[in-house]
Chain A
Amino acid sequence: MTTPGAYENRRLLHTRLNVLRVGATIGVGILVVVFWVLQIVEHARYYDIAENQHVRTIALRAPRGVLFDREGRVLVENQYSFTISVVRELSPNPDHNVDETLHRLALVTGIDEARARDEVKRHKREALFRPIPLISHATMAQVSAVLARKLEMQEVVVQQEPARVYPLGGLGAHLFGYVGEIQDAEIDRPDFAGLPAGSVVGQSGVERTYNGLLMGQDGRREVAVNSAGREISEMGEEDPVDGNRLQLTIDYDLQRAVDDAFKSKNFAGGAMLMDPNTGDVLAMTSQPEFDPNDFATGVDRSKWLALLNDPMRPLQDRLLQGRFSPGSTFKIVMALAALDAGIITPDFKVTCNGSIDLYNHIYHCDRKEGHGTLDLRHALEQSCDVYFYQLASMIKIDTIRDYAEKMGLVGKTGIDLPNEVENIIPSTEWKLRAKGEKWYAGETISVGIGQGPVEVTPVSLAVMISEVATGGNRITPHVVKAVDDGQGWVPTTVTPPKMIFPIRPDVLEPVRDGLWMAVNAEGTGVAARVAGHDVMGKTGTAQVISIQGAKIAAKAGMNVHDNSWFVFYAPREHPEIAGVVFAEHADWGATGAAPIARFALETYFAKKEGRPRPALSVTADGAMVVR
């Protein structure tokens, strides 16, 4: 078997086999390096990519906290909103055609079949397992119709998500506010920090101020998805945490009464009731209202624009976002200032002949024939302008401002609702800053009756009258009483009442006499009289524009009627309730605003004393009757 050259052949064979073996070993060695680089050096980067592409997080929306009134009645809640969608993959047809099903769906739910078909067509290119929403915020009738015919429409599914519901509709709309998806412009706001796009947040009212408490914490479900995005398996679930429940200071019955009274008169304006001792707001309404439910279900653009451009401005909360001339309600501040500063005594008398000449200008009284000779009490009772023109000519504007500040009319009240505007109370310094001019003494005259450059929010007048009720105790109005984070109700911390201006009895009592007489004697506020109760009050009628301007505007068809005010509290001793009614273009405070206050007070006392609550009716001539 050994032939010549066989040995060489064998050597060559071995050498070349060794070459091949070494080559293979080097190849494997290179692969080891390659895998070391990928798996050790660059591991973190590739791991992140792998995780990100196979884990999908689905947000489980947390229901917002429920709002209750002070007696535990539900004011704002959540409802699971149903979305009816079609999932083509579930179709028994081999080509996933759902036309037949859409036809049936349209029949049982009343939706437009052609539109549903377009919607499906629009999503044609998406993955088959992805639900195509056809009816959002479906009604219970639609949902049950679909569920009952599940067998005929296998590809139709019903999904649910919590949505905000305002069972009272427009009642208290400005107070509660509304919710909506976070806007691009808002994403930088500190209280919305860290919220993902698409979060539903409070946009106004309590919903906005207390958004952080109400929102709760969205949960999430993590699912593994494959490369087509289909869910393969559940990886983990974190339940959503419900938002905190809030108990408002609001009394639903009073809220309803104020609202009904306002609506029966068909006025724009606002009204507010509160406890003058604590600042608890018992009712507040702003008219015209809007329906916050429209926003909760995603307001459509035309509706939104209509609300925004409505000349009646239904979105504005007039109580704290509107600023108006206080008219004669300001006379309370004038009287307190003149007495406390020692400029007059209560017995200081002025004779009213229907007008007065001051600084070479004739100022007219409301009553053309004049009030005759009046002291302070009667001047308040009958709201005599000439008396207060006279007072204004005797007091410096800066003194008036000091007392307005003491009565809570400078700055903001600090109510726990968003976008409160600041009052304008003139002073020499203010005029210099705002107009660059000095204050002329003649300008003080119209300030004396709450005209001129005096503009206040209704809510600040409620604070002012509360201070009269308590003798100088400053309260901060607030609408939330307690919070429940799931562990039980905890009272919210509110700014406690503070004695800002301890009003001397010899100053306070004459003013109170005047307010009592205005309602209970022969004054301007008799429309607010409640039998058996000492209601204290002051009307106000504020010109919207000058007399000449009014004539021009009236020709243009604009509403130039005066604004009507009524500020009040009751009873005289140990006051329990105070408030303000502001009715736009309602003319006289005596006939416009005071009856609304009366109905609210009647309701309050009836409820307190366990009597049947009064009913409201409006006569043919528009007068409001309380039975």
Chain B
Amino acid sequence: MIERRLLPHLDWLLVGALLALTALGLATIYSVFRANPGTQFWTQAYAVGLGVVALVVCLFVDYRALAERSLFLYGGLLLTLLYVAFFGVVHQGARRWLPSIGGFSLQPSEFARIALALVLAMYFGESRRSARSTGELLVAAAFLAGLFVLIIRQPDLGTAITLVPVFLGIVFLAGLPMRWLGVALVALVLSSPIIFWYGLRDYQRQRIVTAIDPWQDPLHTGYQQIQAKVTVGSGGLFGKGFESSTQGTYQFLPAAHNDFVFSVFAEEHGFVGVLGALGLYLFVIVRSFEAAKLAKDRVGAFLVTGIVSGFGFQVLYNITMSAGLAPVKGITLPLMSYGGSSLVATLVGFGLILNVRMRRFTN
């Protein structure tokens, strides 16, 4: 049971910012589909309700209790992903979903960030462990790899990649020596041409090339980037107004309701709206880091950092992409993009962050 004395410590400002961003996403999805209304708006609204319930449920349970069972949770998710790998529902060439229950098909990979954050927070939470030792780092990396491999094979490179910042955020906080970080960065820079030429498929290479210069191939690979820029740029200072998107509604910009929801938001609400939304996202991130600072134990701090690192990476990457400046990758914008599993998982994550902050004074 949630104790009444904890309620005053709930971060209502963070809750408000989360709900505000969710509402902006919902409104933009509504606007995109105003010309030919389908089920998307109501599906998303339903997911919002579900997510809020999940968030509240997450407040009830002490995060330490969850962390102690994190290995079971991690193992459970691993098994679910294995199940998906064999029996999952195929949609647009990718096997990502559990068979639908009541019209709602769950995408387990969206919960991988939380499971990873929980298991890594628990692993490094014990004060004697730190990310200074190679052995412990390797164990942590193995936790990452298990989920990563299963997800990338679906295939879903976008979601798999969002696990990396969760891992990096926690090991960084756990004391990863800076020179290792430096070495890793240098190694990445040096190996990037090799990865580019040998590690990527043709279409992936092309995406990177067109991200730099979309006009090389304006009708195919560059199309989405160009249309994203047109969508954002045509919004101007104050935007075209709610329900006035032409780029999204008339389908010039593909995936306007999920991957590119922020482009349409920028089109309708202009630079002013963009400042507001970016402000809210920055507030959510900064407020979450504050929760990490306030956490009464290492487990709480690591858990929050892991979740918010993944969140922050998704936000920055997706918005960069929605301005047409990053390769198009299936990385959704948390809270605003269409997608039930993503929304529920994100709200569950913030349920845990709120949980950590709320319980900062308890023993």
Contact = CB atoms under 8 A, between A and B. Distances in A.
Interface of A: 3, 5-6, 9, 12-14, 16-17, 19-21, 24-25, 27-28, 31-32, 34-36, 38-40, 42-43, 45-47, 49-51, 53-54, 224-228, 232-233
A317 to B, nearest CB: 52
Q: Is the interface of A mostly helix, strand, loop or mixed?
A: helix
B251 A226 contact: yes
26 contacts: A9-B127, A9-B175, A17-B305, A24-B285, A24-B312, A25-B286, A27-B312, A27-B316, A28-B281, A31-B278, A31-B323, A34-B320, A35-B323, A39-B236, A40-B237, A46-B231, A46-B233, A50-B246, A51-B234, A224-B250, A226-B249, A227-B250, A227-B251, A232-B35, A232-B249, A232-B250
A6 B323 CA distance: 44
B250 to A, nearest CB: 4
A498 B309 CA distance: 97
Given A31-B323, A39-B270, A24 B282 contact: yes
B305 A38 contact: no
Q: Is the interface of B mostly helix, strand, loop or mixed?
A: helix
A31 B325 CA distance: 10
A14 B233 contact: no
Most chain B CB inside 10 Å of its own CB: which residue of A36, A54, A228: A54
A228 B251 contact: yes
Contacts of B251: 226-228
Given A14-B293, A17-B173, 14 more contacts: A9-B127, A17-B293, A24-B312, A24-B316, A32-B274, A35-B271, A38-B324, A39-B236, A42-B233, A43-B234, A46-B232, A50-B233, A226-B252, A232-B249
B127 to A, nearest CB: 6
Interface in B55-96: none
A591 to B, nearest CB: 75
| Interface size range on B against A | 35 or more
Contacts of A49: 230, 234
Interface in B252-290: 252, 266-267, 270-271, 274-275, 278, 281-282, 285-286, 289
Contacts of B278: 28, 31-32, 35
B229 interface: yes
Given A28-B282, A35-B271, A12 B236 contact: no
B237 A43 contact: yes
A47 B267 CA distance: 10
Most chain B CB inside 10 Å of its own CB: which residue of A35, A36, A227: A35
A35 B175 CA distance: 35
B169 interface: yes
B237 A16 contact: no
Given A20-B289, A24-B312, A53 B281 contact: no
Given A3-B127, A31-B323, A226-B251, A47 B234 contact: yes
Given A46-B229, A50-B231, A31 B319 contact: yes
Contacts of B301: 13, 17
A20 B289 CA distance: 8
List 10 A-B pairs, minimum CB-CB distance, nearest first.
Answer: A46-B233, A50-B234, A226-B250, A39-B271, A54-B246, A43-B236, A227-B251, A38-B233, A47-B234, A21-B289
Nearest to B233: A46
A28 B318 CA distance: 12
B334 to A, nearest CB: 14
Contacts of A226: 35, 249-252
B41 interface: no
B298 interface: yes
Nearest to B36: A232
B232 A21 contact: no
A46 B234 contact: yes
Contacts of B275: 32
Most chain A CB inside 10 Å of its own CB: which residue of B173, B230, B319: B230
Contact of B292 (A5, A17, A232): A17
Contacts of B233: 38-39, 42-43, 45-47, 50
A19 B312 CA distance: 14
Nearest to B363: A1
A226 B316 CA distance: 30
A27 to B, nearest CB: 5
Contacts of B270: 39
Nearest to A28: B282
B172 interface: yes
